[in-house]
Structure formats: structure tokens, C-alpha cells
Structure 1
Amino acid sequence: MHQPDGSAPQQRYTLLMVSIAVAMFMTSLDGTIVNIALPTISTIFDLPSTTVSWVATAYLLVLTGSILVFGKVADRIGFKTVFLAGFCVFTASSFFCGFFPELFDSFWVLIGARVLQAIGGAMIAAIAPALIAAFLPMTMKGKAMGIVTTFAAFGTAAGPILGGLLTQYLSWNWIFYINVPVGIVAVLLGSYAIPAGRTAGGAPSPFDRLGAVLIFVGLGSLIYAVSEGSALGWTDPAILAALAAAGIALGYLVLHERRTADPLLDFRLFANRNFLYVNLMLALSYFLFGGVNYLLPFFLELVKGFDPSTSGLVLTALSFAMMASGILSGMLINSLGNRRLCIAGALVVSAGYLLFHLFSAASTLHYIIGTFAIVGFGLGFLLSPGTNMAMNMAPRDKHGMVSSLISVERSGPITLGISFASMLFIQAMLTVGSHRHVTASSPANIKIDVLATGFDLVFIAIFAVSLAVVVLAVLSRDEVHADNLEEGAFEAAVAGV
């Protein structure tokens, strides 16, 4: 079989990696760029903050609920079709988000455009890792996963900063317009770089429509409940109804998918303990990262007294360290293996969370930045090899499914982690404040001490959970499905074989 040692295949490999990296950057960016513009949008449309929050919530609900569906669709009709269609939908709807709401003077036009944008984002995010697993040789997969993780981290980090600059110096509309030129370039690049070959042979069985409905309702209801629970109250009828709907839909989903010949999510994959360990490791890692990323700005502003812009700059230490280690881990995967890097990353992240326990009002800026960098560096060593390990275990005809599962394990647990950290922090504050008899009239230094103690208790809990990630990394094993050992998949797909 032909080996990809010429300059032309190498160029196509590089362009394919760039296409995937741009996709992950755009979808990650849009998950964080909007939040900072919500107060401006609230003023323009004269709406309360609870209503305007649907600009972010609607996107998250539809994105999370749709990813697994599009992963399965991609396995059936081909990755290139879904990927490019997703970019076209995402780019067009980004323009709609920025242009039509003010044209029609309607906030709900913005929500509709955001739903459409989420559908495009789900199509992109569902299969980005699958493109690497399906078309790149084993010697390049680790490096590519590292680059993709790096760009995803960069998008998440750049979102609040870029959103603030665009909103302040141009207008809120530009947080959406920024996607249009990038999307056009990505479509042109992907049209050339991504092979058009299908990934699954044979006549497809009927599409699992009931499974698609159950996944969307179950995940969407769960994300809604955890996103709005703190604001509405966990005993609010809407939250209780959403939790009940999520439990019923996801519970029945498991039963239904186990009886379906061609399921959207094949739970039989989890019979492989190694596959289960790796996916739990990834989900828990994103869960803790979501909680920490939510709490740290509050610590910097309430305890250290930093202004929002300074806090944002300090927090970039975590993301930039994650980017650097993502690239480095990709370079080391072939020589050290995924498992060793995951163990090293999990240990470093856990050590960083332990150092958070020492944060106080007296902590120096150097110590805080250094600790952020330790956590970010460990996450890059953990997430890139972990993603690579999960994709390597999947047979070729399930790459889209597993790729979309990994995307859900990123977006869903981050949201759950935010809710977990918020509830834990509030409870810690109430407990400490009651124990020390702190009231609204107490001196400011006493209040800051209570805040610091509250953060301290949450960071201890996060460190304790991070030890489970270490255990899962140790239990995991490098395992490659026979399908993924075949070289020349890219060339075969280009040739239409």
C-alpha cells in the first residue's frame, strides 16, 4: 500500500489539520465570546438579564443535544459532507445573528439565529477528532490531536478578550461577524483538503429517529436544568420538570440503544473497560476544568481585588500553558505513548489543584500565575493523549460516533462543573459565614477572609475529585483497533476507493 512520503500528501495532511484546528477554534470561541456582550444586548433590546441569558443558553442546549446525532450522520454519509455543511450553516447563521436582530428589532430573531448557529457548530464539533482518526497516519495522529486541543483552548481563552474588544470598540454585532471571513476560508480550505470518501460501507440501516429525539431531549433538558438551576432555584417547577425529563429520556435511551441494530450511541463500546476508563477520565477532567474556570475570576476580583480586564489577562496563563503542552504532548505521543502522558498530566493537574488550596488574599501574583500555568500544562498533557487514546480504540465505522461522544464529554461536563462549583461555593460561604457570625455590617477584611475560606473548601473538593482522574489514567491502557493500523486511508479516500 502506498506510503505518504511525498510532498503533495504531506501538504494535504497539513491543510487537513489546519481545517480541523480552525473548526475547533471557531466552535470554542463562540462558546465564550458572547457572554461578555450580554449586558450590551440587554440594554439594546431593553430586556432583563434572565431573558438575555438565552443567547448563551439556547446555543449550549442545541449544540450539546445535536452533537451525537450528527456524529452518526457523518458515519453514514461521509465526514466531508457534514463538516462542510456545518461550516456553511455556522458561517451564514453568524451573519444572521449580527445583522437581522436589529433590522427586525427583535431579540427572538437573534435566538433563532443562535439555534441555527448551534446546529452548524454541532456538525463541526461532532467530527473534528474523527477526521484525524480516519485520515491521518498513526505517526501524525498524536501531533494532530495536540494541535486541535491547543486551538480549542486558544478559542476558549480568546473568547472573553476578543468579545470585550469587539463590543467596546466596534459593536456587539461583530462578535458574530468575526466568524464570517474565517468560515469562508475554512469552507474553501476544507473543500480541497478533506477527502470525500465515505467511512461506512454497505447499505445503511434505517436511521434511529427515536434515539435522536431521546438524546436531544435528554441532554438538552439536563443542560437547561444545570444552567438555570442556580438562577431559578433547584425546587422551581421548570427545573424539576427538566430534571425529570432528562432522567426519563436518558434512561430510556440506554434501553432503546441496546436493542437497536444501528444505534446512535453504541453502549456496547463501554463493555471495553479501557474505553470506559478513558472516557470517564476525559469527562471528569472537563468537569473539574469547568468548575475551576468559573471560580477563578471570582477569586481574582473578590479576594485579590483585580479589575475584570486584569483578571482576564491573569487567567490566560492557564490557557497558554495548556496550548504549549498540547503541542508538546502531540510531539511526544509516538515516543512515550498516550497512557504515560495521561498519567503525567493527571498528576500535574492534581498537584496544581492542591496548590489552589493555598490561595489567599496574601498570595502573590507570581504564585497565582505559576499555579495557573501548572494546571494548564497538565491539562494539555492529559486531554490531547486521552482524546487520541479514545479515538484509537474505535473501529473506523464508529469514528463519527466516538468523536461526537468526546465533544459531548467536553461541553456537557464543563456546564455541570460550573453548576457544581457554584453550589459548593455558595454552601461553603453560608457554612463559614454562619460559623463565624459574619453579617453585612462586618468589617471588609473579615468578609474577605470568609470568601477566601469558601474558595479554599471548594478547591479541596476539586483536588479530591482530581485524584479519581489520576486513578483512571493509571488504569487505562494504550489500545489501537485493527482498523486504525491501516495506512493510506487518506489516499484511498481521495482516490474514491
Structure 2
Amino acid sequence: MHQPAGNASRQQYTLLMVSIALAMFMTSLDGTIVNIALPTISTIFDLPSTTVSWVATAYLLVLTGSILVFGKVADRIGFKTVFLAGFAVFTAGSFFCGFFPEVFDSFGMLIASRVLQAIGGAMIAAIAPALVAAFLPMKMKGKAMGVVTTFAAFGTAAGPILGGILTQYLSWNWIFYINVPVGAAAILLGSYAIPAGVTASGTPSPFDRLGAVLIFAGLGSLIYAVSQGSALGWTDPTILAALAAAVIALGYLVLHERRTADPLLDFRLFSNRNFLYVNLMLALAYFLMGGVNYLLPFFLELVKGFDPSTSGLVLTALSFAMMASGFLSGMLINRVGNRRLCIAGALVISAGYLMFRFFSAESTIYYISGALAAVGFGLGLMLSPGTNMVMNMAPRDRQGMVSSLISVERTGPITLGISFISMIFVQAMLTVASHRHVTTSSPAEIRIDVLATGFDLVFVAVFAVSLAVVALAFLSRDEVHADNREEETFEAAAAGA
């Protein structure tokens, strides 16, 4: 492998890492900063909470449904083109979200702007991991993945805090305007630091339009069903229709993609058991994280009696621990290896979820924060090397595809985890309450011990799933595709562009 030639090349490596880190920060920040302003937006537009929730739902539907499409587009036209275009669209969409709804006094303009923002977010999220795999040398990949994980965790942690400050002291519009200067800086950095790359040679096969429609329809229907199921009821005809559409579209997608010469998602990659194990490990880790992050505020406020601000501070223990271990894992990947870090991280995650099993009304804030910190620390240790393992197993002409798959495995399972965990909690609490003859009471009168028992049953389920994450980590192994053994250096990529 060639080494960087001089300070200029090293500077470009650093700026490339900063560009990728800003991408992860923006997409992670936007995933959490908006929710805290939804009550304010509801009041301003005089809309019920079910309608205002579409500010978050519309973004999630479009983001998840289109990530895989843009991953394939990037493999055909180049990572730099899609990445910079994504930042431009995301930044413009962010400005429109803050500006047009107020100028035209239209909630519809906000939803339309969120859709545009989501398209840009999908372009960014699809490419960020691929940039690390394609343009950084092996000795820097571990550190880069650690930096990416750290900035993603920082964005997640900073979202609620920053969103609350901006909404309270400026206005709700500023939760979107905050993306504009960050996006502009990322575009300038990326234009300089990212090589144009080498696109596929020869005449490309026709773009898989049917696959794109099936992916968007299948994932979009699934995300809609799981995000709205609790509100509308799982037996609601709309939810049942969405679930049926998801099953039909995703089922036909698998059949279609296996027959297509140049698929959007090459399911043949999953014939490699190691590739399957690591992807399942990452998906389950995000699944649990999404569900627990959604449910814990209810535990802290209903069982512990904390106020919302205290609950928010306690929950940041997970994100800040994840930041610290993400940086640590980046430094250790080359010394320890991806698999060992994944195993260590999975064990720490499972230990943290085991601590959840002993949560009660008497649990101290230090014990709860410690359990959250353990989960966050384990996630930081595992996610960076896990992502690195997946990208290393992908052939060079599938880097964009696999990068987008990793992003879908983050956004989709988090949403599924929220729905699954909340469904278990409600059902567990109703079952316990019916045995204790309190179902005739109003929600405010339900006794604390019934709530606590409902949480107990959920935490048992969470710990059981975490054991599957541990098993998958042990089954995984470090594996590098032949395309990635003789790596292209930054200078070679730039010269061949």
C-alpha cells in the first residue's frame, strides 16, 4: 500500500474525515433535534399531535425508503457527486423547513420541505461509510470509523439539548437553520478533500427502476406501519394494508433482485454467512438501542418521578459513553482486531441490559446512569469495528450498495425497536393490570408496582435479545474481500479520477 506523500496528502485525509464526521453529525442531530419542538409546532399551527407527528414520520419514510437507491446510484456515478449533491439538497431542505412554513403559514410546506431534506439525508447517509472504505488506507480506517461513531453519538446527544435551547430562546425555525452553516462548511470541505473516484468502466446496465420502486414501497410501508401502529391500532385497516404492502413488495424484491444482472441490493452477498452474521449483529444492536431510548423516559418519569429535564440528562449517559468508546475503538481496531472489539462490546452491552433488569422505584440515579453508560460504552466499542467488518467484506463495485445497507440497518431497526418495545410494554402492563384488577382505573391511578412490573418484563426481553447480539459477535470473524487487500491510496484514487 502506498503511503501519503507529504503534508498535503495527510491534510486531505484529515479533511476527508472531517467531511464524513460532519455528515454523520448532521443526520444524527436531525434525528433527535426535531422531536423536542413538535409540541411548539403543534401549538403554532393549531394541529393535533397525531398530525404534527408527520414532521418526523415523513422524514423517516423517505429517508429509509431511498437510502439503498442512492447507494446504487453512487456506485454508478461516483461517491463524490452523490455526497456533495446530498449535502446541497439537505442544506436547502433545512432552510426551506425553517423559512417557507412561516412565510406561507402552511404546515404542508413544512412536510414538503422535510421530504426534500430527507432525500438529501438519504444521499449523505448512503455514502458516508463507503467514503471511509474507498479512500482511506487500512491503517486509518479504524480511527476514521471511531471518529464517525463519535460524531454520530455526539449529534444524537446534542439534539435534544440544542433543540430545547433553540426552541426556547430563539424559535422552532432554528432547529432547521442550524444545519445551514454546517452543510455549507461540509460542501466546501468535501469539494476539496474527496477524490472524484473511479466509476464503473464500460456501458452500465440499465438502472433497476422496478427494484427502486419495490424498495421504496416496501420499506416505506413497513416504517409507516410500525411508526403509526400504536397510535392507530394494529388492527386498523390502514395499518394492516401497509403491512400487507410491505410483505408483498419486499418479498417480490428478493425474487426480482436475485434475477437482475445489476441489482440495487445484491442478496447474494448474504450467502456469505459471516456477512449475514455481522449485519444481523448491527441491526439488532440498533433495534435494542431505539426501543430502550424510547421507553426509558417513561420509566424515569412515571416510576422514578424525575422531571423531563432530569430524565434528559440521565439519558445522555448512553450517548456520551458511546462517544468515548467510539473514539477508543478507533484507536484499538488495528491493534486488537474488529472481531475481538465486537465481542467485547457485545458483552458490555449485554451486561448493561442485565443491569436494567434490576431497575426499580428504589434504583439510584447513579445505578441507572451506570447501566446506560455500560450500554453506550459497549455500543461504541462494537459499532465501529462491526461497520468496518461489513465494508471490508464488500467488493469494490458494491461499496456504495453496502454502505447504504448499513445506513438502512441503523434507521429501520431503530424505528422497529421503538414499536416492538412499546408494544411489549403495553401488553405486559395490561396483562399484569388485569390480574391485579386495576384495568377499570384511569391511567393516572395505575399503581407504580404495575408499571414497574411492565418495565421488568420488557427489560427481560431486551436482555434476551442482547444475548443474540453476543452470539452473533462470537460467530463473526475478520474477513477482507480480495478487492480490498491491495488498497488504493488517496493519491491514486485522485489521479485515476
Same fold (TM over 0.5): yes
Q: Distance in 1 between matches of 2:270 and 2:7?
A: 40
Tell me which amino acid in the other structure corresponds to 2:432: V
CA offset digits 1:400-457 (Å, max 9, x no partner): 0000000000000000000001000001111111222235669989711111111111
Distance of 2:206 and 2:488 partners within structure 1: 30
Superposed CA deviations along residues 318-354 of structure 1, whole A, max 9, x for unmatched, are 1000010011011111011100010111011011101
Q: Comparing 363-372 with 413-422, which one deviates more in the overlay?
A: 363-372
Partner secondary structure for residue 434 of structure 1 = helix
Structure 2 Cα separation of the partners of residues 5 and 288 of structure 1: 44
2:364 alignment counterpart = 364
Match of residue 116 from structure 1 = 116
> Partner residue of 1:253?
253
State the SS of the aligned residue for 1:142. Answer: helix
Within 5 A, what are the aligned runs for 1:274-293? Answer: 274-293=274-293
Q: Secondary structure at the match of 1:207?
A: coil
C-alpha contact (below 8 Å) 2:432/2:450 kept by paired residues: yes
- Asked whether the equivalents of residues 428 and 454 of structure 2 are also in contact (C-alpha less than 8 Å), the reply is yes
Q: Give the match for residue 28 of structure 1.
A: 28
**Aligned mates of 1:197, 1:356 — CA distance in 2:** 47
Q: Work out the CA distance in 2 between the residues paired with 1:13 and 1:161.
A: 31
Quote the Cα distance in structure 2 between the aligned partners of 1:238 and 1:101. Answer: 28
Structure 1, unaligned stretches of length 5 or more?
none
Residue 447 of structure 2 aligns to a residue whose secondary structure is helix
AA of the residue aligned to 1:380: G
**CA distance in 1 between partners of 2:114 and 2:365 (Å):** 38
Shifted more, 168-177 versus 2-11: the winner is 2-11
Instruction: Provide the residue aligned with 1:88 in structure 2.
Output: 88
Post-superposition offset of 1:117? 0.2
Give the distance between the partners of 2:215 and 2:244, measured in 1 at CA.
14
Confirm or deny: 8 A CA contact 1:125 1:404 kept in the other structure. Answer: yes
Rate the CA distance shift 1:305–1:480 in 2: closer, same or farther, 3 A.
same
Per the alignment, residue 476 of structure 1 pairs with: 476
Cα deviation, 1:91-142, whole Å, max 9, x if unaligned, reads: 0110000000111111001100000000000000001000000000011111
Q: Does 1:496 align with 2:476?
A: no
Matching residue of 2:205: 205
- Confirm whether residue 306 of structure 1 aligns to residue 295 of structure 2: no
Quote the Cα distance in structure 2 between the aligned partners of 1:448 and 1:337: 46
- Whether the aligned pair in 2 keeps the contact of 1:3 and 1:487 (CA below 8 Å) is no
Separation of aligned partners in 2, 1:399 and 1:261: 17
Looking at structure 1, the residues matched to 71 and 441 of structure 2 have their Cα atoms a distance apart, in angstroms, of: 55
CA distance in 1, matches of 2:298, 2:490: 47
The structural deviation recorded for 1:489 is 3.2
SS of match in other structure, 2:24? helix
Deviation at 1:5, TM superposition (A): 5.0
Alpha-carbon shift at residue 487 of structure 1 (Å): 3.1
Give 1:397's aligned amino acid: D
Q: Is the 8 A contact 1:199 1:396 kept in 2?
A: no
**Residue-by-residue CA offset, 1:143-185 (whole Å, 9 max, x unaligned):** 1111101111111121111111111110000000000011111
Change (3 A) 1:441 1:58: closer
Tell me the CA shift for residue 491 of structure 1. Answer: 1.0
1:223 corresponds to 2:223: yes
Identify the residue that residue 409 of structure 1 maps to in structure 2: 409
1:13 partnered with 2:3: no
State how 1:368-379 maps to structure 2 within 5 Å. Answer: 368-379=368-379
What's 1:130 paired with?
A: 130
Indicate if the aligned counterparts of 1:36 and 1:164 stay in contact, CA closer than 8 A.
Answer: yes
Q: Mean alpha-carbon deviation: is it higher for 190-199 or for 130-139?
A: 190-199
- Range with greater deviation from structure 2 (379-388 or 445-454): 445-454
- 1:3–1:488: 8 Å Cα contact kept in structure 2? no
Moved runs in structure 1, 4+ residues, more than 6 A? 442-446
2:73 matches 1:73: yes
Superimposed CA distance per residue, residues 14-38 of structure 1 (whole angstroms, 9 cap, x where no aligned partner) = 1101100000110111111111111
Preserved CA contact (<8 Å) 2:269 2:275 = yes
Deviation for aligned residue 1:312: 0.6
For 2:186 and 2:58, how far apart are their aligned partners in 1?
Answer: 25
| Alpha-carbon distance in structure 2 between the residues aligned to 1:113 and 1:63 | 13
Distance 2:309 2:364 in 1: 18
Q: Distance in 1 between matches of 2:375 and 2:352?
A: 5
**2:423 match:** 423
1:267 aligns with 2:267: yes
- Distance in structure 2 (CA, Å) of the matches to 1:88 and 1:40: 28
Change (3 A) 1:330 1:431: same
Gapped runs of 5+ residues in structure 2?
none
Per the alignment, residue 397 of structure 1 pairs with: 397
Rounded Cα–Cα distance in structure 2 between residues aligned with 1:454 and 1:47: 32
Amino acid at match of 1:100: F
Which amino acid in the other structure matches residue 103 of structure 2?
Answer: L
SS across alignment from 1:301: helix
Instruction: State how far apart, in whole Å, the 2-side matches of 1:60 and 1:446 are.
Output: 33
Report if aligned partners of 2:4, 2:489 keep a CA contact under 8 Å in 1.
no
Show the counterpart of 1:165: 165
Q: What residue number does 1:323 align with?
A: 323
Q: Which amino acid aligns with 1:12?
A: Q
Equivalents in 1 of 2:290, 2:234: separation in Å?
20
Contact kept, 8 Å, 2:2 with 2:489, in 1: the verdict is no
Aligned residue for 2:103? 103
Note if 1:177 corresponds to 2:177.
yes
- In structure 2, C-alpha distance between the alignment counterparts of 1:171 and 1:459, rounded to whole Å: 38
Quick one: distance in 2 between partners of 1:440 and 1:8? 71
- How far residue 492 of structure 1 moved from its aligned partner, in angstroms, is 1.6
Instruction: Tell me, yes or no, if structure 1 residue 450 matches structure 2 residue 489.
Output: no
CA displacement at 1:203 relative to structure 2? 2.1
- CA 1:286 to 1:349, structure 2 compared with 1: closer, same or farther past 3 Å? same
SS at match of 2:162: helix
In 2, distance between residues paired with 1:443 and 1:457?
A: 19
Between the two proteins, the alignment pairs up a number of residues equal to 497
